[in-house]
Amino acid sequence: MRFSEILNLVKLNLIQNKFKVLLTSIGIIVGATTIVIVIAVGRGGKADVAEQFRNLNAGALDISYEQAQGSGGFSFGGSRPSSVGSSSGSRPDFSGSFSMPGGGEMPSFSGSRSGGSSSGGSGEKSSRGSGFFSGFGSMFGGIFGGGSDTKNTERITLSADDMEDITSYVPGLSDATISYTVKQNIYGGNIEETESYTVAGTLSNYAELSNLTMLFGDYLTDADNENKTKVCVLGYSTAKQIFGSAEDAYDSLVYIDDRPYTVGGVLAEQGSVEAGISADEAIFIPYATGIKYLTGSEISPTITVIAADVDNIEAVRENVKTVLAASYPNAEFTISDAGSKMEAANKSNETLTLMLIAMASIVFIIGGISIMNVLFVSVKERTEEIGILKAIGGSRRDILLEFIMEACFISLIGGIIGVMLSFVINPVLSGFSIRTEMSVSGAVLALAFSIVTGTVFGFYPAWKASKLVPVEALSSE
């Protein structure tokens, strides 16, 4: 029998049993929909991760400090010790592989410094050779904080001086910056009542390190920071919320904590971010301006350093730890790198996708079993028909092909409906803030899976049908 005629017979049988075909293919419909959606969610997740990490430099390391809970209130030696003059300790050599001097020797830092931003009310230390105050701080932290761990009991505020230490002694860095965020009440523009916004104190190089692009005006300058100028740069969304548009925001005044700041620039839209400051939603002011007018010492800054060579990031991390340990022996700093975050996010996304694909495969198997079941029933119901076809010269191949093709087409129809359904479901998922990216490859894969499922699970019933003895099949009724 010609293949085209077999297809005609298949078409005829499917048309005659539309409802049965639809019911049979439900498993495949669900499977195909799941596959397309799973792939779309996977791709969406991947794109999401890429977008969220877009403004993070792969070589960036964020250094922050978190005080252990319960160790707050009463501590000494919290602020960064200021080295004054030269120390008797030998300076570590960072030119090659980083190594800290052993014993009680601490690295000394030339030049006098101001105490930086002090916190915890401990004031400046004249020397840190003995670690006396730090020791006290730890002790009191342990006693009054009730903690048993001696680490992170002090209140420490990272400062520009710490950043300078790092940039001075850690080799292989291309740049570094320091920033902090605080919530502040804002008014101005179209805002009638004060609203709370994230205000970020940053240095002039923050924009470059975070890949921020300007829509209007310029980013903050070193002069702004040095002069503690009341100038700000608005994130795109913030500008729109306060002034209605980015254009209107530029060169206007915005009041932060009742003080007027000139909007010196508006950022282009950056999108959502996984780590760091969400630029669209923030207001950027000079680092020193914020400390002077807004926060005082009550900040938890993050130092961001950029490794010149991404492959060298682990060495940089260790060196940063060592430098900070020299200043704060009882503190452990959180050092996270964007690459690891991105990798972790991608891995978790891939794991989720794999799990969903496994789930879709199970749905397909169930769908296939359903097809096999229905085909077995169909073979039983149509035993007489098979007998007739064999009696009038239908070969095993004809019968086998007819039933396999029926299974294939049931699956294909299910697959097509499933793919179409996924396009209907997709906007619904978007409504639930699930990012999806539909793809042709997803649809093709779903259809391929459908056909393979139909063929595999349809084969056995078809083979059984083809093996029927005509005389027995004819007398089956």
Q: Decide: 265 and 250 in contact? Cβ < 8 Å.
A: yes
Least Å distance between CB 454 and another protein? Answer: 21
Q: Which one, 309 or 472, has the nearer CB to another protein?
A: 472
Q: Decide: 178 and 286 in contact? Cβ < 8 Å.
A: no
Least Å distance between CB 2 and another protein? Answer: 6
Least Å distance between CB 377 and another protein? Answer: 16
Q: Which one, 215 or 474, has the nearer CB to another protein?
A: 474
CA dihedral 381, 387, 388, 389 (to 10 degrees): 100
Interatomic CA distance for residues 93 and 99, integer angstroms: 7
Least Å distance between CB 9 and another protein? Answer: 8
Q: Which one, 59 or 387, has the nearer CB to another protein?
A: 387
CA dihedral 18, 417, 460, 396 (to 10 degrees): 60
121: enclosing H helix or E strand: none
Q: Which one, 361 or 476, has the nearer CB to another protein?
A: 476
Bridge partner list, 304: 62, 177
Least Å distance between CB 446 and another protein? Answer: 30
Q: Which one, 14 or 100, has the nearer CB to another protein?
A: 14
Number of Cβ within a 10 Å radius of residue 472: 10
Q: Which one, 91 or 464, has the nearer CB to another protein?
A: 464
Q: Decide: 155 and 80 in contact? Cβ < 8 Å.
A: no
Q: Decide: 175 and 209 in contact? Cβ < 8 Å.
A: yes
Structure tokens at 55: 């403004």
Q: Decide: 203 and 256 in contact? Cβ < 8 Å.
A: no
Hunting for tokens 């095993």 — which residue is that? 396
Nearest one of 107, 277, 269, 248 to 180, comparing CA atoms: 277
Least Å distance between CB 363 and another protein? Answer: 31
Q: Decide: 187 and 255 in contact? Cβ < 8 Å.
A: yes
Least Å distance between CB 384 and another protein? Answer: 7
Interface residues with another protein (CB under 8 A) are: 1-2, 4-5, 8, 12-13, 16, 384-385, 387-396, 398, 469-471, 474, 477
Q: Which one, 308 or 469, has the nearer CB to another protein?
A: 469
Report the amino acid identity of residue 472: E
Q: Dihedral of CA 302/243/54/209: which sign?
A: negative
Q: Which one, 299 or 379, has the nearer CB to another protein?
A: 379
Least Å distance between CB 391 and another protein? Answer: 5
Nearest one of 201, 155, 210 to 182, comparing CA atoms: 201
- How far is C-alpha 63 from the geometric centre of its chain's CA atoms? 19
Least Å distance between CB 477 and another protein? Answer: 8
Q: Which one, 8 or 213, has the nearer CB to another protein?
A: 8
Q: Decide: 313 and 191 in contact? Cβ < 8 Å.
A: no
